[in-house]
């Protein structure tokens, strides 16, 4: 089948082809799964420069070192990790048999669920496609992928590279606009993975519910930074600026705002701008600074900053002009942003960092807990007691301590949100489990108590129930 055919009927036909292939062949062996993962690794290694070029074309400019760091290397590492750990993950687990059922054996075995749909976003169009794909294949499933229509060059290249290594009955990429994406989400998959905004995530979940399709939703929200007063400002500013400006802030786990000690918040804001200027002395012709994905997103960022400034926030801007045609939005810090502004209500998804003054650690924790649970939380402290207090008193999808965003690249840590920031986690073993069905198996021994107590229930049954449950049936 031509994977470029995206009519709804063709989507159903492709799903049925994958289902039929899965039913005919059954669960793949360890060797087959490892082979599939090697093919993903080969795809990334051989196609990395073409992928970097395609992503840069889609963005208008995307830093190629950032593409390799965030899209290629984590994918290769995740596939290698899964290959190494698969024997242990696939091994059946012995479970305890209750005294009343002995002699017998209990175990859990993990079987693939079938066909998994993956809806990938535009901001990391390679890793947020191959990341779920690696876990789906490790668990022994088939996969249909719908990449973002906002990155057409990357989506087309991924389709080409995947089709060269996988038959459509095993992995297929379907392309198209928003209407194709909506049709894709209505398919009766055995599991559906969506990465994107919270609002669209709600629509995806509603569509999946019609067919009772389990969903994994990787969403976003406003990921906070709590800066304790014991942590030096300069290294904090550097670490936070690096995480915020990676991919020009177009990262679901980017630091969205900083809760800084009241007495040092202004100095911290200035240091963040200093770090931004050191990393990016200029914009025009600078291949290291990633562009904003579209004119609409670029305009929205400008509106967020302008509104916050009009309402009393102090805006600190990168001093280098951006006069070219590339959508380079300059790194911007907004000190004392109005809490009712859109800047503090919406996920920013760009190189704009609000800095909120916090009077104490307790007030910072209360601020975070008064808002929807975030996809990521960042805390900066050198005091173990402070670290423990923040971890114990907050809830988030994931955490990096004294750093930003790097927890998402750990192949042996689960990645996922909670509440409005997401549902379900994957990566590594958690990904294997996410896309597997844990099937419980009971195997009676030479003697079965249930058969012993079959009708007609006479004296033996009554004596047994009295001994086992204290039930005096007379």
Do 414 and 427 meet the contact criterion of CB atoms below 8 Å apart? yes
Q: What is the pLDDT of residue 279?
A: 96
Sequence-ordered alpha helix ranges (H) in 210-294: 233-245, 265-279
Give the tokens for residue 151: 């990155």
Please state whether beta strands 191-195 and 215-218 pair in parallel, antiparallel, or not at all (unpaired). Answer: parallel
Do 225 and 193 meet the contact criterion of CB atoms below 8 Å apart? no
- Helices and strands, counts by H and E, the chain: 17, 18
Q: Count the residues in the chain.
A: 474
d(CA 76, CA 130): 9
Give the tokens for residue 140: 């022994």
Do 288 and 280 meet the contact criterion of CB atoms below 8 Å apart? yes
Query: Across the strands, what pairs with 143?
Result: 116, 171
218 as an active site residue: the answer is yes
SS3 12: helix
252 as an active site residue: the answer is yes
d(CA 114, CA 11): 16
Q: Write out residues in the chain with pLDDT < 50, as ranges.
A: 1-5
Question: Tokens 């998402």 map to which residue?
Answer: 408
Give the tokens for residue 402: 């004294």
CATH 3.40.309.10 fits 223-416, yes or no: yes
d(CA 235, CA 213): 45
Do 297 and 351 meet the contact criterion of CB atoms below 8 Å apart? no
Burial class (CB in 10 A: 0-12, 13-18, 19+), 325: exposed
Residue 314: its H or E element:
strand 314-317
d(CA 357, CA 254): 19
Burial class (CB in 10 A: 0-12, 13-18, 19+), 469: exposed
CATH pick for 8-219+425-437 out of 3.40.50.12170, 3.40.50.10470, 3.40.605.10, 2.40.50.140: 3.40.605.10
Give the tokens for residue 405: 């965003």
Q: Is the dihedral of CA 266, 272, 278, 281 positive or negative?
A: negative
Sequence-ordered alpha helix ranges (H) in 311-419: 342-345, 361-369, 384-393
SS3 420: helix
- Catalytic position from the list 71, 143, 185, 252: 252
Q: What is the pLDDT of residue 320?
A: 83
- Catalytic position from the list 41, 66, 218, 347: 218
Q: What is the pLDDT of residue 2?
A: 42
Q: What is the pLDDT of residue 322?
A: 66
- pTM (2 d.p.): 0.93
SS3 90: helix
d(CA 457, CA 305): 78
Do 292 and 329 meet the contact criterion of CB atoms below 8 Å apart? yes
Q: What is the pLDDT of residue 162?
A: 97
Give the tokens for residue 157: 């290249």
Give the tokens for residue 111: 């079987």
SS3 17: helix
d(CA 9, CA 199): 27
Do 159 and 50 meet the contact criterion of CB atoms below 8 Å apart? no
Domain ranges of the chain: 8-219+425-437, 223-416
CA torsion, ordered 39, 43, 45, 48, to nearest 10 deg: -170
């Amino acid at each position: 089948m031509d994977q470029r055919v995206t009519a709804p009927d063709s989507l159903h036909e492709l799903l049925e082809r994958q289902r039929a292939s899965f039913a005919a062949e059954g669960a793949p062996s360890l060797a087959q799964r490892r082979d599939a993962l090697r093919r993903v690794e080969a795809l990334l290694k051989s196609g990395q420069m073409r992928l970097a070029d395609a992503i840069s074309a889609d963005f208008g400019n995307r830093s190629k070192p950032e593409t390799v760091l965030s899209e290629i290397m984590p994918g290769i590492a995740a596939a290698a990790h899964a290959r190494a750990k698969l024997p242990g993950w696939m091994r059946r687990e012995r479970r305890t048999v209750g005294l009343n059922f002995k002699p017998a054996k209990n175990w859990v075995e993990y079987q693939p669920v079938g066909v998994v749909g993956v809806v990938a976003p535009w901001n990391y169009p390679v890793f947020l496609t191959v990341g779920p794909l690696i876990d789906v294949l490790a668990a022994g499933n088939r996969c249909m992928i719908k990449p973002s229509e906002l990155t057409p060059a990357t989506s087309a290249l991924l389709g080409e590279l995947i089709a060269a290594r996988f038959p459509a009955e095993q992995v297929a990429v379907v392309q198209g606009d928003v209407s194709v994406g909506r049709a894709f989400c209505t398919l009766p998959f055995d599991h559906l993975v969506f990465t994107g905004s919270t609002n669209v995530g709600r629509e995806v979940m509603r569509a999946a519910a019609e067919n009772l399709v389990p969903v994994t939703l990787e969403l976003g929200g406003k990921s906070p930074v709590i800066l304790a007063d014991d942590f030096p400002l300069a290294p904090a500013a550097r670490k936070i600026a690096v995480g915020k400006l990676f991919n020009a802030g177009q990262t679901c786990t980017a630091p969205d705002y900083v809760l800084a000690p009241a007495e040092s918040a202004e100095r911290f804001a200035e240091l963040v701008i200093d770090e931004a200027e050191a990393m990016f002395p200029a914009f025009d012709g600078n291949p290291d600074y990633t562009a904003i994905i579209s004119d609409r997103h670029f305009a929205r960022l400008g509106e967020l900053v302008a509104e916050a400034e009009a309402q009393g926030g102090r805006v600190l801007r990168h001093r280098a002009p951006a006069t070219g045609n590339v959508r380079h939005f300059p790194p911007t810090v907004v000190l004392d942003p109005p809490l009712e502004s859109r800047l503090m209500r919406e996920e920013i998804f760009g190189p704009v960092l609000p800095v909120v003054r916090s009077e104490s650690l307790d007030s910072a924790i209360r601020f975070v807990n008064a808002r929807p649970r975030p996809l990521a939380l960042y805390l900066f402290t050198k005091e173990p007691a402070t670290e423990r207090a923040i971890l114990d008193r907050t809830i988030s999808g994931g955490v990096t301590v004294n750093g930003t965003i790097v927890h998402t690249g750990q192949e042996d840590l689960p990645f996922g949100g909670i509440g409005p920031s997401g549902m379900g986690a994957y990566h590594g073993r958690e990904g294997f489990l996410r896309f597997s069905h844990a099937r419980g198996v009971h195997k009676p021994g030479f003697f079965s108590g249930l058969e012993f107590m079959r009708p007609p229930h006479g004296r033996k049954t009554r004596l047994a129930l009295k001994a086992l449950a204290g039930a005096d049936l007379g």
